[in-house]
Amino acid sequence: MKAYLMYPDRDLDLEQPLPFNEEDLVQDLELTTLWNAMARGDKFLYRVAKYAILTGLKNPEEIGYRQEILQDCLSHPEVIREMYQIPIEAMENKRKNWMGIFTYHPSGILSSSIEMMEMFLDELRKLRRIAEEHASTFASRGFRAFFEMIQKELDDSFFLEAIEHLKALKFRQGVLLGARLGMGNEGKDYVLLKMPEKKRRSVSDIVLRKKPVYSFHISEWDDAGARALSELKDRGINLVANALAQSADHVDSFFRMLQTELAFYIGCLNLYEKLKEMGCQVAFPSPAPMTERKHSFRGLYDVCLALTMKQKVVGNDGRGDGKELVIITGANQGGKSTLLRGIGLAQLMMECGMFVPADEFSANVCAHLFTHFKRKEDASMKSGKLDEELNRMSDIVNHLIPHSIVLFNESFASTNEREGSEIGRQITSAFLDRHIKVFFVTHFYEFAHNFYIQRDERFLFLRAERKSGGKRTFKLIEGEPLSTSFGEDIYSTVFGNTSPAPELATQESAT
């Protein structure tokens, strides 16, 4: 039996390697905040959420398959949580009541396997009951196939036959073995035989003379004889013991995979409920093939900022269809980095089949997602900060392939504007030539202006909105890069007599 609730044709494999830039993605996009919200303190949910988000899908059809299943989960959260408890109970009962097979003796293997299979049958009955009661209310291809498989494989005849087999394997009437005589009349080719059914003796059975039966009895004080008889029994039941142990392992693997794949959707339910509680909107995105250039959104926000602040935050709109380069400029603490993180988080969430933090969102999938954010000064560094930035950039270049996305956040700001702009220009131009989509937050006017004057339709320019008096709206609007970054706003905040409103200051510090 297979679950197929994460992929239409294969199981989820948690042992596959994570992206080489895992640490950068986690740090730059603050992914631990997202995973903690999905896990609610459960280490297993955290592990599955981390793996699923960092190893997203690249096929829009597979993303749509997973989205359908998640939509079913959002429509039936109680049923999904009840289903999720079944494999958990099975694993817990196994841990508490079945200590495993600590012997190589077939009789011990058989006895332990019988106990485990009887326990698993109870859990499989619960799963079939859920399928019978709720299958008709699920619409996704994944759940329909799953429930159909459960009802077909776990029908009444399956349980009746399984119970009969387990009852027979307890050998309450003894063990019937067959064997052949080998060299020196030594027994060989021991095989387990089916015990004949007991029949009522008729008159003919009593009258007719039967063939003689040769038998012997072992004394209850004959320990050596008892051991020899036990060894003969083990030879006969060896094959059936191994077969039943393999069957038990198969059911055990099914429950483990069911728990793993449902864990992703439980994490999504946890996150959805948390965001709805805060009044945050979510939407199912429209993924496009990676060869297209789509990136449009309405009301997109940084989900990790919302989870940190525990409230709804400002969303942004963008029309990036057909764009290869998006340059984001404007006033300090105006929401530029927040938008960049929101774009990265939405990309990862979309590609793993989740909803995204927006009113609407559509984008092409990418071959890989890379981030190059500025880092705080590290006193232990053996070289300069620019060297550190260039080394990280070199690692990205070594792993870049066409149709990737790179998010730059104030990169190369550790040097002067002229050098930083030239470094950024050459790198960005090279990426565009290789069909790499680039999002670049920068304060370098020379860098942004150089691309703006090219009037290339593939370029989009966003600017942090600033009202008169320096008020930030945390909205990004389309606009030409300005030659000032409004440093006087910071000066006024630090040295002036006025301070921003408390709620504004809180959000500024978060961005």
d(CA 193, CA 235): 12
What is the pLDDT, as a whole number, of residue 207?
Answer: 53
48-52, 461-465, 491-495: range with highest mean pLDDT: 48-52
Report CA torsion sign: 69, 71, 72, 77: positive
Output the CA angle 210-212-213, nearest 5 degrees: 115
Our CA dihedral for 246, 252, 254, 257, rounded to 10 degrees, sits at -130
Q: β-strands 360-364, 286-288: how paired?
A: parallel
Quick one: what percent of the chain has pLDDT higher than 70? 81
- pLDDT tens-digit readout, 195-219: 666 655 555 555 555 566 666 676 6
CA 385 to chain centre: 35
Element (H, E) at 22: helix 22-29
d(CA 76, CA 136): 12
232 backbone dihedrals φ, ψ, rounded to 5°: -65, -40
d(CA 348, CA 365): 9
- pLDDT tens-digit readout, 399-450: 999 999 999 999 998 889 999 999 999 999 999 999 999 999 999 999 999 9
d(CA 97, CA 112): 10
- pLDDT tens-digit readout, 76-120: 999 999 999 999 999 888 877 665 544 567 777 777 888 888 899
Cα dist. 218→33, 222, 228 in Å? 70, 7, 10
What is the pLDDT, as a whole number, of residue 135?
Answer: 96
What is the pLDDT, as a whole number, of residue 406?
Answer: 98
* Domains in the chain with CATH codes: 22-158+247-276 (no CATH), 280-510 (3.40.50.300)
d(CA 342, CA 302): 4
387 backbone dihedrals φ, ψ, rounded to 5°: -60, -40
Is the entire prediction scored with pTM above 0.75? Answer: yes
Left, alpha or beta for 403 (phi > 0: left; psi -120 to 50: alpha)? left
d(CA 358, CA 349): 11
Cα dist. 164→118, 126, 153, 158, 502 in Å? 11, 20, 17, 10, 72
Q: Do residues 418 and 429 lie in contact, with contact meaning Cβ atoms separated by under 8 Å? A: no
Residue type, 178: G
Confidence of residue 503 (pLDDT cuts 50, 70, 90): very low
What is the pLDDT, as a whole number, of residue 105?
Answer: 72
Confidence of residue 148 (pLDDT cuts 50, 70, 90): very high
What is the pLDDT, as a whole number, of residue 232?
Answer: 59
d(CA 70, CA 351): 13
219 backbone dihedrals φ, ψ, rounded to 5°: -65, 145
Cα dist. 317→271, 282, 297, 320, 463 in Å? 23, 14, 5, 10, 12
d(CA 73, CA 143): 10
Q: What is the DSSP letter of 234?
A: H
Residue 511 has pLDDT above 60, yes or no: no
| Average pLDDT score over residue span 502-510 | 41
Confidence of residue 467 (pLDDT cuts 50, 70, 90): confident
| Average pLDDT score over residue span 365-386 | 82
**Look-up: residue for tokens 């709109």?**
317
| Average pLDDT score over residue span 170-180 | 71
d(CA 180, CA 183): 10
Output the CA angle 304-305-307, nearest 5 degrees: 65
Rounded to a whole number of angstroms, the distance between the first and last alpha carbons of the chain is 48
